[in-house]
Amino acid sequence: DAGVTQSPTHLIKTRGQQVTLRCSPISGHKSVSWYQQVLGQGPQFIFQYYEKEERGRGNFPDRFSARQFPNYSSELNVNALLLGDSALYLCASTTLPPVAAFFGQGTRLTVV
Amino acid sequence: ELKVEQNPLFLSMQEGKNYTIYCNYSTTSDRLYWYRQDPGKSLESLFVLLSNGAVKQEGRLMASLDTKARLSTLHITAAVHDLSATYFCAVDIITGNQFYFGTGTSLTVIP
């Protein structure tokens, strides 16, 4: 069975640009959540989606947005990139209630 | 503000020794997760603890949860080099799949 897949794996962007990250959950999982992990820190919760509806939002600015599609895949968008947005972005999928959350390999975003 | 704190932040231990990592959290939750992360890699699920008093063991690792004390422990028995990694605990407080992670414990096992 395929796990959680994220694309791209690496990305380099310039300050002020916009970026879209993609996530495909495990088959049968309807909940997707996004996390930002800055080097040396634990992952920080950004968004959770379930059945295409936003179920939760972490303490991130409005430059961050996301959506979930009918096939339960998800996109994370970040506008007006800042240097501080450089991080590993992780996607997790799970059933609800969760037995465990499974993480993708992540997208490493570098803003220069 | 929800806080999830782990200690120690850094742990260097010799092979064969035992040690415990502690995870304290500041809000009510019945669901606590432990993850392992190798450098440059994603998170690997180790344990899911879903009730007070839950104890789970896998190989040299054992995790427990005390929801009344808001404390979880990850005990390492007879450490081996392959256990070197960063370990995170995470609390799930709302509807599921909204995890709040601890600060992480970087474990180095010295031969």
Phi, psi of A85 (to 5 degrees): -80, -5
Per-residue pLDDT for A2 more than 80?
Answer: no
Per-residue pLDDT for B95 more than 70?
Answer: no
Structural domain for A91, as ranges: 5-111
What number of residues does chain A have? 112
Model pLDDT for residues A7-65, shown as the tens digit of each residue: 999 999 999 999 999 999 999 899 999 999 999 899 999 999 999 999 999 999 999 99
Query: Other C-beta atoms within 10 Å of B98: how many?
Result: 24
Per-residue pLDDT for B31 more than 90?
Answer: no
> In percent, how much of chain A has pLDDT > 70?
99
**Domain B4-110 adopts which CATH fold?**
Immunoglobulin-like (2.60.40)
Pairing of strands B61-66, A5-7: unpaired
Strands (E), chain A: 5-7, 10-13, 19-24, 31-37, 44-50, 53-57, 64-68, 74-78, 87-94, 102-103, 107-111
Tell if the CB–CB gap between A45 and B100 is shorter than 8 Å.
yes
Q: What is the pLDDT of residue B72?
A: 96
Tell if the CB–CB gap between B33 and A97 is shorter than 8 Å.
no
> Comparing A19 with B29, which gets the higher pLDDT?
A19
Contact between B105 and B11 under an 8 Å Cβ cutoff? The reply is yes
Model pLDDT for residues B72-85, shown as the tens digit of each residue: 999 999 999 999 99
Q: What is the pLDDT of residue B46?
A: 96
Of B43, B45, B98, the CB nearest to A90: B43
Joined together, the tokens standing for residue A52 give 């295409």
Q: What is the CATH number of the domain that holds A83?
A: 2.60.40.10
Q: What mean pLDDT is predicted for residues A82-92?
A: 97
Counting the structural domains of chain A, the total is 1
Per-residue pLDDT for A1 more than 70?
Answer: no
**Mutate which: A48, A49, A68, vs B, most B CBs within 10 A:** A48
For chains A and B, count residue pairs whose Cβ atoms are closer than 8 Å. Answer: 74
Residues 6 or more apart in contact with residue B6 via CB below 8 angstroms: B21, B22, B23, B24, B87, B88, B89, B102, B103, B104, B105
